A and B are shown apart, each in its own frame.
Chain A
Amino acid sequence: MILSETVLMILLLICLLMVGFTLLSLSLSRHYRHVTNKRTRLTRKNILMVRFIGYSFLIAAAIISINIWGIVLGLVYGFATTTLVAIVLSAILTFKPRLLSFIPLPLY
């Protein structure tokens, strides 16, 4: 039972960080262009909004992982998962950016 609980928590952490980092990457005009395939960019206000939501997800992930595993192991899990998520995301953004085009942007 303990194992499956850990697995669920790891999956939750991966999801939160994935969403957070995806939003942050979309707030950068290069990646936004590649994903949406439009020659447009977000307004300053939208960029700030997307970044705010993105960082909120990251902070939520940090709080949750520290709550589950304690400060030291929580940070180890957090940083390790960040590395994993960021590597996957940069591969997607480089080779298959259109995979992320389902995300409804601009949000506001």
Chain B
Amino acid sequence: MKGRFRQSMNWLHTWTGFIFGWLLYFIFVTGSTGYFENEIDRWMKPEMTIVNQHIDEYKVLASAEKYLNTLAYNSPEWYISFPAAREPFIGISWLQLADKETNTPREWRAKNLDPINGSSTDVRETGGGRTLYRMHYNLHYVPQVVGYILVSLATMLMLIGLITGVIIHKKIFTEFFTFRSKKGLRAWLDIHNIFSVLPLPFHLMITYSGLLLLMGISMSTVIDTTYGEGKSNHKRFYKEAHSDIKEKKFINLSPENLSLKTVLEDAHNRYKDQRVSYVGLKDRGTKNEHYDIWFDAFEGIESASAVEYRIKDKKVEIEISLGKSGNAASVYDFFEHLHEGLFANTYLRWLYFISGLLGAGMIATGMILWTLKRKKNAEKQQKAKFIALIERVNIGIIIGVPIAIAAYFWSNRLIPVSMATRSDWEVHSLFITLIACVCFCLTRPIKEVWTNMLWLAASVYILLPVLNVFTTEHNIISSVKNSDWLMLGFDLSMLFFGACFAIAAMIIKRKKANAIPIIQSTSLAESCELPPSSLIKEKVV
């Protein structure tokens, strides 16, 4: 019975992993880039002026207000952002209303301000880090609902894959650190186990919370039964379910004096040890006009809190949000913050990122194992052909996704800044590159595919900082001089990733030179045999 249970779990593990394997790999890699959203944003917006000196926030506010008054006089929403640790910029943004006469669409606009002379800079239009990480749940080209449903399904199967994986892994403790690197198929199984078991808490957390985050879509019929179908009914559900507990009180400020400046002053006095990251003015010119303040505090697992200022009964009232009112919403919030890791400092952020990549590695090695196990036993010509095809697409996706992301960065520098649809084309170049990579893998001789792809990946990553030198005024030395740590970190990371790909290519080349038929000649049964050393009679100390 026990054997049969394990066997059926094994079957389930194999096929749940296989169905969405490529999609899950894409999700894990692009999702991992989300932990460095701000760093990627900084690199993709080289025109931004960084602030690395002390600034007078009130002076900044005054010049920002001056700009907004001329550029966005009829806009209902204004935002002014102050430098934060991972966003050392001063920015203004506003909602531009649609105007048929001048043919302007309704859209968000933003400008970057110089901290010293107060001049404004236009920043190139780019998808930035946000578009890149959002792909991991909206899949970009498909309608939003379809993307969410597909990703939900893939996540569900991923969770099943994780749980069945734990069940079928017989020696989770005795083989915790084991990697028998010279044993063909066994080595692949070992590395698959290492990638899965060591970051298992992360894998379980990220998969479970990912599933939870999309529950509005995957469980939408539950909302239908209680609140009714349709967008407006669902909105009513979200409003009720995610309502905040709010503390309201009147403060000692006369309504005539309520302005951006006084709001900022009051916030500074009220929260002395907090840094303000955003000041917003919403519903401008209406009865409901109010001011918002956000703080740059991700110290705890809770997200940054906000304070709202508005005029009520001829007095100024503030509203402080104190978290979610419902228990379910609190749990949802908790998992959302754990998933996004916005609270993480540099150390945790890198570990989040590495764990995400280990997850991608787990999926990649799983896909490779799938083909290796079947390759040997494929008697029929047709089946062998099919497996060879899967093997090639595997390589195309595993190395192709990182190359495609590099293409996204390349296109940011190469597409003309004046091009209207440049942010769309950044994404197009990502997917075109991915398809090209898969096609390349389908045509090359199988023995050279891995090394070719790895060298290609190494070169596109190593050349990114070089491209940065030629297309902008930024380079590694100038970044050190200006203490532009985000730009420097990005360039160095790209060199590091390129080096990793190059080392991988060299290792594969050397292995091939030493022993060509390792993988082909070792079947699973042989490789699972006990290592000969364990047969030697051991002396007990």
Q: Which residues of A contact B (CB under 8 A)?
A: 6-7, 10, 21, 24-25, 28-31, 33, 39-43, 46, 70, 72-73, 76-77, 79-84, 86-87, 89-91, 93-95, 106
Contacts and interface: CB of A to CB of B under 8 A. Distances in A.
30 contacts: A24-B176, A25-B176, A28-B174, A29-B538, A33-B533, A40-B540, A41-B539, A43-B540, A43-B541, A72-B301, A73-B300, A73-B301, A76-B338, A76-B348, A79-B201, A80-B348, A80-B351, A80-B355, A81-B351, A83-B198, A83-B201, A83-B202, A83-B351, A86-B176, A86-B177, A87-B354, A91-B179, A93-B178, A93-B179, A94-B179
A87 B351 contact: no
B347 interface: yes
6 smallest CB-CB distances across A and B, nearest first, come from A80-B351, A79-B201, A90-B177, A94-B179, A86-B198, A83-B199
Nearest to A93: B177
A25 B541 CA distance: 17
Contact of A80 (B202, B334, B539): B202
Contacts of B347: 6-7, 10
Nearest to A30: B178
B202 A79 contact: yes
A83 B348 contact: no
Contact of B177 (A25, A33, A46, A79): A25
Contacts of B482: none
Nearest to B300: A73
B352 interface: yes
Contact of A42 (B179, B345, B351, B541): B541
A78 B198 CA distance: 12
Contacts of A93: 177-179
A31 B177 contact: yes
Given A83-B202, A87-B194, A90-B194, A39 B354 contact: no
B477 interface: no
A15 B179 CA distance: 23
Contact of A39 (B181, B198, B539): B539
A74 to B, nearest CB: 11
A6 B358 CA distance: 25
A89 B198 CA distance: 11
Contacts of A95: 181
B170 to A, nearest CB: 15
Contacts of B179: 90-91, 93-94
A84 B201 contact: no
Contacts of B338: 76
B interface, size bucket: 20 to 34
A25 B194 CA distance: 14
B354 A46 contact: no
B116 interface: no
Contacts of A73: 300-301, 343
A94 B343 CA distance: 35
- Name the residue among A6, A82, A83, A95 with the largest chain B CB count within 10 angstroms: A83
Contacts of A76: 301, 338, 348
Given A84-B351, A90-B179, 17 more contacts: A21-B177, A30-B534, A40-B538, A41-B540, A42-B540, A43-B540, A76-B348, A82-B198, A83-B202, A83-B354, A86-B176, A86-B198, A87-B198, A87-B358, A90-B178, A94-B179, A95-B181
Nearest to A79: B201
B336 to A, nearest CB: 13
A43 B538 CA distance: 11
B538 A83 contact: no
A24 B175 CA distance: 12
A4 B535 CA distance: 51
Contacts of A40: 538-541
Nearest to A46: B541
Nearest to A7: B347
A41 B343 contact: no
B515 interface: no
Contacts of A24: 176
Contacts of B355: 80, 83
A32 B238 CA distance: 56
A69 B355 CA distance: 21
B513 interface: no
Contacts of A25: 176-177
A21 B300 CA distance: 28
Nearest to A6: B345
A3 to B, nearest CB: 8
Contacts of B541: 40-43, 46, 106
A73 B347 CA distance: 13
A8 B347 CA distance: 12
Interface string B453-464: 000000000000
Interface in B320-372: 334, 338, 343, 345, 347-348, 351-352, 354-355, 358
A81 to B, nearest CB: 7
A8 to B, nearest CB: 12
A76 B199 CA distance: 12
Given A83-B354, A86-B176, A90-B194, A77 B348 contact: yes
B536 interface: yes
A96 B61 CA distance: 58
A46 B176 CA distance: 20
A93 B301 CA distance: 35
Interface in B525-539: 533-534, 536, 538-539
A10 B355 CA distance: 17
Contacts of B180: 94
A84 B534 CA distance: 29
Contacts of B351: 80-81, 83-84
A95 B338 CA distance: 34
- Name the residue among A7, A31, A94 with the largest chain B CB count within 10 angstroms: A94
